Amino acid sequence: MKKHNIAIVGLGRVGSVFLNELIGENVSGVKVVAAVEKSETPAKAVAARSHVKVLSLDELIAEGDKIDVVFDLSGGANVADELHQKYAAKGNLHTIVAPERMAHLMLTLMENQKNLPDVHPQP
C-alpha cells in the first residue's frame, strides 16, 4: 500500500484532534509529515515531539511533491485559496489541498470513529 504523506494547516481545536488521531492510531498508509501553525498551541508542541515538521506556509509549499495531501483545518477563509495559488505558481500538480470536510470523512472511516469539533468560532 502506498504511504500518503500529509500535512495539516491549522493546529487549533479541529487540527489538534485530527493530528492526535492520526499520530496516535498509526493509520495504515497515512503519515503526518508536516504541520503549519502560527500560534503556540499544545498541538504544535505535540507535532514537534512526534517528529512532524512544523513549517511556515511558504516552507510547506517548498516541500513540493513530498506532500501528497494538505488538510486545511485553519478556519481561515482564504487559506485554501492561498495554498492553491502558491502550489499552482510552483507548478505543483501533485499535492491536493483537502477541505475540513475531508478530515471529518477520513476520521469517520477510521475504526474508532471519533468526531472532530463541528465548527470554528465565527469572527
77 lies in some domain: yes
Q: What is the CATH number of the domain that holds 17?
A: 3.40.50.720
Whether 67 and 9 have beta carbons less than 8 Å apart is answered as no
120 lies in some domain: no
122 lies in some domain: no
85 lies in some domain: yes
Burial of 50 (0-12, 13-18, 19+ CB in 10 A): middle
119 lies in some domain: no
115 lies in some domain: no
The mean pLDDT of 38-52, rounded to a whole number, is 94
118 lies in some domain: no
92 lies in some domain: yes
Give how many domains the chain has, as a whole number.
1
Helices (H) and strands (E) in the chain, counts: 5, 5
The set of cell numbers assigned to 55 is 513549517
pLDDT of 1 > 70? The answer is no
The CA distances from residue 117 to 15, 63, 92, 100, 111, in Å, are: 9, 29, 31, 11, 18
Looking at residue 4, its amino acid is: H
Number of other CB atoms surrounding residue 29 within 10 Å: 8
Q: What is the pLDDT of residues 78-117, one digit of tens each?
A: 999 999 999 999 999 999 999 878 877 877 776 555 555 6
Residue with cell 487540527: 15
50-52-57 Cα angle (round to 5): 150
Q: What is the pLDDT of residues 63-84, one digit of tens each?
A: 999 999 999 999 888 999 999 9
82-83-84 Cα angle (round to 5): 90
Domain that includes residue 90, residue range: 4-109
SS3 for 116?
Answer: coil
The set of cell numbers assigned to 112 is 474508532
pTM metric for this prediction: 0.84
